[in-house]
Structure 1
Amino acid sequence: MTVRVVHVPGRTPYASKIRDENVHILNETTVDGREVPRDVTLSWLLDHRPWKWLDVIHIHHPDFESIPILQQALTEASRAAKHVVFTAHDTTPVFGDRESHDDRIRLLAEKRALFVCLTRGAAREVSERWSPRAVLVPHGYVAEPAEHGRAQVREPGPTRFLLYGSLRANRDIETVLHCWRFDRQLANTTIHLLLRAPSRASLDAEAVAWRAILDHAADPRLLVDVRPFPTDAEVNQAVREADCLLLPYRWASHSGQLEHAYDLGALPVAARTGFLPDQVVHHRDRVNEPVWFDWSDGSTYEYGARLLTAMRKAHHEIQDGWRPHDSVSFSRYRTEEHEDIMADYREIYDGH
């Protein structure tokens, strides 16, 4: 029996990969003459009430929905006997404030949504704070296994750092740029910023980051690349061409980008925060340890120095011939991991 799933929203590689012959994603399809958008919102569900032609509502980022809309959607889904699944990508808010984030999480728990957690640490926190209905399913790949791999021999040249994605407040782009540009030991490096086109709605929240980018844009080693919305292929290419993926999280509980670095053989340079170390442990000895830096102990005046120390270390490792893990065996592992993930999701979607 095929299970029909709507993802809220459905843009991410994480959502789009949860499909097989028994799991049908309704986003970007036409059902009964009605087009289902890629980025379905709970408001859209309430406006169209598609309860007869879906089985599961899979919520990923409830911070984009108002609490009254979330409550109404969960109530109507319950009345229609539809399963609600919530992947707790973040146990700390990366959009919005802590209080409203926690209110949404509590509401999901009260309405009996099934929580999917991506690491053991997150599952433990969710079970203790919000919901006993929490299961552990690892993140899995970001780039499909067929896309894994890069040039076997790196050409001589500057160490290439990459930052991509949102300029949201939990990612400290400003400190990276201010420190990196003026560190003479990093003169033989470049930074590629791959960004989504800003809009009036986002510019206020991202103003500090954009100001830092403008301050340093004249440096020829900084490539700022703004796209309408970077496609999966564009992001994969950027990661594949980078030596190091920078993950300057001020706070986070999980990082899909860390998984992406492993998929495509980039060296992660990451803040040791949240449950990111759990992600590395999950892969055991199949991957290299990231170059970590600590921004979690409150010694904020030391954070720039720690970042530069990590970037210098990564730069030296790349220039000394650092090599990623074997892409063929890792691709095979990711394929097997995905089969296990899909088996878990089939049970979850069936309501077990």
Structure 2
Amino acid sequence: MTAIRVVHIPGRTPYARKLHDEGIQVLNGTTVDGLAVPRDATLAWLLEHRPWDWLDVVHLHHPDFEPIPWLRTVLAECCRFGKRVVFTAHDVSPVFGGQTEHHRRLRVLAEHSVPFVCLTPATEAEVRWRFGARTAMVPHGYVAPPGTLTRPVPRNPGPTRFLLYGSLRRNRDVKLVLACWRFARHLAETTLRLLLRAPSRASLAEDAEVWRAIREHAADPRLRVEVLPFPTDDEVNEAVAGADCLLLPYRWASHSGQLEHALDRGALPATTRTGFLPDQVALHRRLVGEPVWFDWSDHTPFEHGARLLEAMQTVHSAIQNGWQPHDAEKFADHRRREHAEIMAAYRVLYGGGQ
């Protein structure tokens, strides 16, 4: 059987890199017919390396950084040469850029009959209503491969360990977390770890207030700040497994791979109830407990700090009173079955069916 050759735009995330089996070959990070395909391929790179006789499918993930004319050109070229295109609708509301431009890109995809992969049934309904797109419901799936080491049970005594990781995106209120946590009397017996991606000059300018807050609060010995070039899977897996709680202070979001990661590694998620995050958890009903939810969605910004602190105090009390994660073996079995279904769905999508 000849494998379907797929280029992800981009191919950096575990979500993209895991989508392979004996029938699907991910080309990112490999050499094909003497051509080195970058892990983080862009539409510009793709357009520079025509003809595309070395690929079968272009899988788009985050088009916010791609100019719309380039997107239209790639879609036209794929149609001309019989190459299939698939789009995963990670973000219905944009993390980067404005909503008007983000939705313009999604409408371009819908106009070209590109199938939208939606991660929950609620997303699928939203995408069909808003963009009139062809859709397929395929869940996010695992971030940490099932069966990898989670955490010692029972937990060793000690302070409650909070974790934030990733880049300082504007849809996560890290600055508020730092200010509330550091001075909260009831959280004195806790620690906070920030595992951050190395910033660019642009992000240093855009996130200047957050970096000032980090420098200010770094004087507290309970705060551990680490900046890495791009944290590896092993480094992030180790960080999540070593935390009691993964904090997800989203101001807005559509979906969260980090939420799935917390479930994979047995950390208690504390997250805003926003976007389709509750629908992600609902897909694992009866296998996982509810996250500690807090609500920032009712237009009462002066309550955000109080609600965040209440959630963190709830986590702290639960951890110190012996909270235990869900059954790791049962959840790993669930993830394996889920992944088999995900791959079956992608074989159909990549093959041109639905």
Query: Retained in 2: the 8 A contact 1:115–1:131?
Result: no
Matched, 1:254 2:263: no
Equivalent runs, 1:157-196 vs 2, <5 Å: 157-196=158-197
Match of 1:330 in 2: 331
Matched, 1:287 2:288: yes
Stretches of structure 2 that go unaligned for 5 or more consecutive residues are: none
Match of 2:82 in 1: 81
**In 2, Cα distance between equivalents of 1:246 and 1:324:** 16
Matched, 1:229 2:240: no
- Identity between Structure 1 and Structure 2 (%): 63
Equivalent runs, 1:267-286 vs 2, <5 Å: 267-286=268-287
**In 2, Cα distance between equivalents of 1:190 and 1:77:** 50
Q: Which runs of 4 or more aligned residues in structure 1 lie more than 2 Å from their structure 2 counterparts after TM superposition?
A: none
Equivalent runs, 1:36-75 vs 2, <5 Å: 36-75=37-76
Query: Retained in 2: the 8 A contact 1:194–1:225?
Result: yes
Q: CA deviation at 1:118?
A: 0.4
Q: CA deviation at 1:64?
A: 1.5
Per mean C-alpha deviation after superposition, the further-off stretch among 145-154 and 340-349 is: 145-154
Matched, 1:3 2:4: yes
Query: Retained in 1: the 8 A contact 2:90–2:118?
Result: yes
| Aligned-partner residue type, residue 42 of structure 2 | T
Stretches of structure 1 that go unaligned for 5 or more consecutive residues are: none
Secondary structure of the 2:175 match is helix
Query: Retained in 2: the 8 A contact 1:170–1:252?
Result: yes
Query: Retained in 1: the 8 A contact 2:147–2:329?
Result: no
Query: Retained in 1: the 8 A contact 2:114–2:133?
Result: no
TM-score of the superposition, structure 2-length normalised? 0.98
Change (3 A) 1:220 1:35: same
Secondary structure of the 2:48 match is helix
Query: Retained in 1: the 8 A contact 2:190–2:316?
Result: yes
Q: CA deviation at 1:149?
A: 2.1
Count of residues in Structure 1 that have an aligned counterpart in Structure 2: 352
| Aligned-partner residue type, residue 33 of structure 2 | D
Query: Retained in 2: the 8 A contact 1:4–1:26?
Result: yes
Match of 2:125 in 1: 124
**In 2, Cα distance between equivalents of 1:237 and 1:229:** 15
TM-score of the superposition, structure 1-length normalised? 0.99
Secondary structure of the 2:125 match is helix
**In 1, Cα distance between equivalents of 2:97 and 2:169:** 10
Q: CA deviation at 1:148?
A: 4.4
Secondary structure of the 1:147 match is coil
CA offsets per residue over residues 164-214 of structure 1, 9 Å max, x none? 011010000011001110001000001100001112132112212212111
CA offsets per residue over residues 29-65 of structure 1, 9 Å max, x none? 1111110110010000100114111110000000021
Query: Retained in 2: the 8 A contact 1:149–1:328?
Result: no
| Aligned-partner residue type, residue 144 of structure 1 | P
Per mean C-alpha deviation after superposition, the further-off stretch among 87-96 and 127-136 is: 127-136
Match of 1:201 in 2: 202
Match of 1:313 in 2: 314
CA offsets per residue over residues 232-261 of structure 1, 9 Å max, x none? 100000000000000000000101101000
Secondary structure of the 2:206 match is coil
Match of 2:216 in 1: 215
